[in-house]
């Protein structure tokens, strides 16, 4: 399956403008043969701490993404803010070509350094879904730093998709952790980040597709565009058979440490 990350310069708290920007990139990616298109975390609003206000856009955002998936006959994975219990949540949705939602998850680790935990509730599940023969596990931004999420799902995953608003000042960590998770789990990893300025915080993108050895297939920095490449579960299986690192794990020991 061909996947494409859509690296947006997100207009701050302006869904309609971001719908326009996303559509242009999505049409380009679909024309290149991509079957799964991936938008960044909070693609329609930016990573705003005005969570209550941003959650009011959830219905419009999901409607836009459903229409986009149907129009282009592709799968679309996107991040957005929605109402939760006590506080809104930083969510992710996978929409099928028929416009129906097939997976829904919430960010498990709010980014405390930016005060996200004061404005957003934490999720508590991680899910994997098969998309056209590829087992896909979505991850949201800061969750990339927590290897536990990856290790517990590695054997059931061919490709991790990490959506983010990861700033330039920590770009080295972004690139390093994406590669580390590919190597840790012997899986493809697609990291989809934003570019542009977000209230004084620059983002350089570095959206990246890596193979199960942690080698870069495609990368894009500093400008809007698409990162595109093929995900092949056969390569995942072959890599794990040739290098049986995952089968050497000893979970029963780790639980007692």
Q: How far apart are CA 242 and CA 152, in angstroms?
A: 21
68 with 34: CB under 8 angstroms?
no
pLDDT at residue 70 in the model:
98
Q: Is 159 contained in some domain?
A: yes
Give the contacts of 36 (CB within 8 A, at least 6 positions apart): 1, 2, 3, 4, 74, 75, 76, 77, 131, 132, 134, 136
In a domain, residue 238? The reply is yes
Q: Which two tokens stand for residue 68?
A: 């986009």
* pLDDT band for position 79 (cuts 50, 70, 90): very high
Place of tokens 């299986």: 237
Q: In this predicted model, what pLDDT tens digit does every residue of 181-218 receive, in sequence order?
A: 999 999 999 999 999 999 999 999 999 999 999 999 99
Catalytic residue among 78, 92, 141, 159: 141
- Judged on CB neighbours under 10 Å (0-12, 13-18, 19+), 212 is buried
- Per DSSP, 169 falls in state G
Residue 227 lies in a domain: yes
Give how far Cα 151 sits from Cα of 7, 39, 170, Å: 27, 24, 23
Q: What does the pLDDT read at residue 119?
A: 97
What does the pLDDT look like over 225-257, one tens digit per residue?
Answer: 999 999 999 999 999 999 999 999 999 999 899
Is residue 22 included in any domain, yes or no?
yes
Catalytic annotation, pick one of 41, 82, 116, 121: 41
pLDDT confidence of 35, banded at 50, 70, 90?
A: very high
Q: Give the pLDDT score at 46.
A: 98
Cα 107 to Cα 109: distance, rounded to the nearest angstrom: 6
The reported pLDDT for the residue numbered 238 is 98
Confidence bin at 48 (pLDDT 50/70/90) = very high
* pLDDT in the model for residue 126: 96
Give me the CATH number covering residue 235. 3.60.110.10
φ and ψ at 121, to 5 degrees? Answer: -80, 155
Residue 251 resides in a domain:
no
Burial bucket for residue 124 (CB in 10 Å: 0-12, 13-18, 19+): exposed
The neighbour count for residue 104, using CB atoms within 10 Å, is: 15
Identify the active-site residue in 78, 82, 92, 107.
Answer: 107
Instruction: For the chain, give the mean pLDDT.
Output: 97
- Does 152 map to a domain? yes
Strands annotated E in 8-98 = 36-38, 75-82, 89-95
65: helix, coil or strand? helix
- Average the pLDDT over 51-79 and give the result: 98
* 11-24 pLDDT tens trace: 999 999 999 999 99
pLDDT at 27: 98
Is 169 known to be catalytic?
Answer: no
The answer to whether position 98 is within a domain reads yes
Binned at pLDDT 50, 70 and 90, residue 58 comes out as: very high
**Residue 41 annotated as catalytic:** yes
pLDDT digits (tens, 9 = 90+) for 127-142: 999 999 999 999 999 9
The rounded distance, in Å, linking the Cα atoms of 10 and 183 is 30
Q: Which of the four pLDDT bands, split at 50, 70 and 90, describes residue 178? A: very high
Question: How many folded domains does the chain comprise?
Answer: 1
Domain that holds residue 55: 2-243
Answer yes or no: is 122 within a domain: yes
């Amino acid at each position: 399956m061909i996947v494409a990350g859509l690296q947006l310069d997100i207009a701050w708290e302006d869904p309609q403008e971001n719908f326009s920007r996303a559509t242009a990139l999505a049409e380009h990616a679909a024309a290149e043969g991509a079957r799964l298109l991936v938008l960044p975390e909070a693609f329609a609003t930016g990573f705003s701490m005005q969570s209550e206000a941003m959650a009011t856009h959830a219905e419009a955002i999901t409607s836009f993404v459903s229409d986009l998936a149907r129009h282009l006959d592709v799968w679309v994975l996107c991040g957005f803010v929605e109402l939760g219990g006590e506080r809104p949540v930083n969510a992710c949705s996978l929409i099928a070509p028929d416009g129906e939602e097939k997976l829904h998850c919430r960010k498990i680790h709010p980014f405390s350094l930016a005060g996200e935990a004061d404005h957003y509730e934490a999720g508590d599940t991680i899910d994997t879904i098969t998309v056209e023969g590829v087992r896909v596990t979505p991850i949201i931004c800061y969750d990339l730093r927590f290897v536990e999420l990856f290790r517990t799902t590695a054997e059931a995953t061919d490709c991790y998709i990490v959506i983010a608003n990861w700033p330039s000042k920590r770009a080295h960590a972004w690139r390093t952790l994406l590669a580390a998770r590919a190597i840790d789990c012997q899986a493809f990893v697609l990291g989809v980040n934003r570019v542009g300025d977000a209230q004084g915080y620059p983002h350089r993108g570095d959206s990246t597709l890596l193979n199960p050895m942690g080698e870069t297939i495609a990368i894009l920095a500093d400008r809007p565009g698409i990162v595109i490449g093929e995900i092949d579960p056969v390569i995942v299986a072959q890599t794990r058979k040739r290098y049986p690192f995952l089968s050497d794990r000893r979970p029963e020991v780790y639980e007692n440490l």
